[in-house]
Structure 1
């Protein structure tokens, strides 16, 4: 999880011990403007994209499948996540002025919804895997899967809250050159970092590798002209996850194994830039997990038309990746074409 905003005191201590004061001053000037600008940009894009997804699911699409439940849970988590960013943007540009209680609440919200988002992405991957491997069974157990989906989403929020408790409890306002919202317990930081790396990166990555490998194998065996579109979406999902999450998690992992890297100004630049890249997931999730679906896009066009946008018309023409994924229980041979954003049970 991006956390440079929570360890600014630590960086300042390291900076004081470094002889190149001018280089560090340049870095802090860069960071003071770069991170708040990124926070605001991600906030605006994430707010618009995830709000659209929620509005469409609430008023147009409804919750008809397990995948719908997960795709509803994801923008809720991302929305709560991005809503904390304006506070961190202000604190990064000035200092923390909101007090101890808001520090605990906002840091808790930030962490809670980070874990919720990542665990939901993991569940979406598993759901797609099951839809491909057990297509007929999925279709016949739609009602049971809906109940399980609601229970899983509730469990995700509970687990996320539990693993966020240390940061909520130990968060406080600290002061060196300025006030910061942070947790500064060394043992806590190590534990938090370990949980972040496992739940926020390695678990989703391992799940994607295993599940998508099987899905790709089934797609290659399927005789569907749409399988190439399906493969492109798989590779896009994995590539976006790796490009946005791997750099920052790799930097954090390196820093945790050798604290001397924290003395290097160039390493501070790496943490700052890769953190901002990791934030982009909140903007990209709506595109990757909702807007590529034909049914969702049609509902989006309906929404735009209803609010008076003349350039949007609902078109019944054209095929999307969702069509490539749709199948019937009587055609198990084509079930491998179901790597979809809407599960088999939608049909």
Structure 2
């Protein structure tokens, strides 16, 4: 039996042409975005982050707790630098306590909820900004105590009041500068992050302000103050001069080694983000490696600050050893062996400047 098509000859021709044209159509997949695989970076973080975060956390907790105990045990808040050092220890201790959450966020999916997510980033930024500002104020105080000694002695009665007011202002400023991350931090792709994507415009603003306020500004202040202090010490004829200069150089070196690499990578990340993100997947992965490594170097500041700014001081080191003796961690004989000779040799220079710059 023959069946005739219900369509006309022209319609059949049109349908046949259309079908053949569609079958010959090819898709250009170059126009579609390709997912950047970051499995190697994820595997790197699984061992790198918990290892270094654990080391920094333990050292940070031990060092800063010892500083805080020494201050309160001996009631040693006698100078502006003492007040700033105590606040610096609280800021670094606060940051060290947040490191386990940072390690958990880098290793696996974030399951602790939005409140802890926001708290982790807020604590980090508050402690970060306050630490940088306190380091700047310590350098300013040392500048007036050494380079402008006459002027500093004239206003000595007001120093403690000014140090407490300025410390409170530092914490308030640090909290204000942390508000953007406190507000925008969320859980994105099972990760606690303040940014929605690598090309987020908010990310450019936050990172740029962090570089200026928490690195460039403190670096300029510290550079001016410490260069002036070194110039003043070079003109003095004190036999402790060279040792004090070495301590200042150590303070500057630790700051530069910890902060410069991370801020350079952060600056370049900000530039790449402002341009819409990295064009190459391999280049994006290399930036992630650089960010992880330099960020851990920057995190080292919370455990190095007690050694650089507190334990190197003659009076503070003596008080620390006495605290360890009173707690039963050191024998009486060992305490006298560590302190007697050194106290006799440094007694002539045991002034308020020994808190930070005495060997």
Cα deviation digits, residues 265-309 of structure 1 (max 9, x gap): 222211111111111000100000100011111111111111112
In 2: Cα distance, 1:160 partner to 1:262 partner: 36
In 2: Cα distance, 1:277 partner to 1:342 partner: 23
In 2: Cα distance, 1:323 partner to 1:284 partner: 27
In 2: Cα distance, 1:251 partner to 1:45 partner: 25
Cα deviation digits, residues 210-247 of structure 1 (max 9, x gap): 11111111111111111110110111111111111100
Q: Indicate whether 1:313 and 2:335 are aligned.
A: yes
In 1: Cα distance, 2:53 partner to 2:323 partner: 28
Whether contact under 8 Å (2:142, 2:353) holds in the other structure is: yes
Map 1:14-25 onto structure 2 (within 5 A).
17-18=35-36, 21=37, 24-25=38-39
Give unpaired runs (5+ residues) of structure 1. Answer: 1-14, 328-337
Partner of residue 163, structure 1: 177
Segments of 4+ moved more than 4 angstroms: 319-327
Aligned residue among 220, 226, 230 for 1:216? 230
- Tell me whether 240-249 or 32-41 shows the greater mean CA deviation: 32-41
| Deviation at residue 90 of structure 1 after TM alignment | 1.7
Q: Indicate whether 1:56 and 2:70 are aligned.
A: yes
In 1: Cα distance, 2:126 partner to 2:244 partner: 32
Whether contact under 8 Å (1:50, 1:75) holds in the other structure is: yes
In 1: Cα distance, 2:230 partner to 2:244 partner: 9
Give unpaired runs (5+ residues) of structure 2. Answer: 1-32
In 1: Cα distance, 2:195 partner to 2:104 partner: 21
Partner of residue 184, structure 1: 195
Q: Which has the higher contact order (CA 8 A, sep 6+)?
A: 1
Q: What is the TM-score when the length of structure 1 is the normalising length? A: 0.84
Aligned residues: 313
Whether contact under 8 Å (2:312, 2:356) holds in the other structure is: no
Partner of residue 92, structure 2: 78
Cα deviation digits, residues 61-97 of structure 1 (max 9, x gap): 4211111100111000000111111111122222211
Residue 325 to residue 112, structure 1, CA distance change in 2 (3 Å): farther
Whether contact under 8 Å (2:315, 2:350) holds in the other structure is: no
- Structure with max Cα Rg: 2
Aligned residue among 98, 101, 104 for 1:90? 104
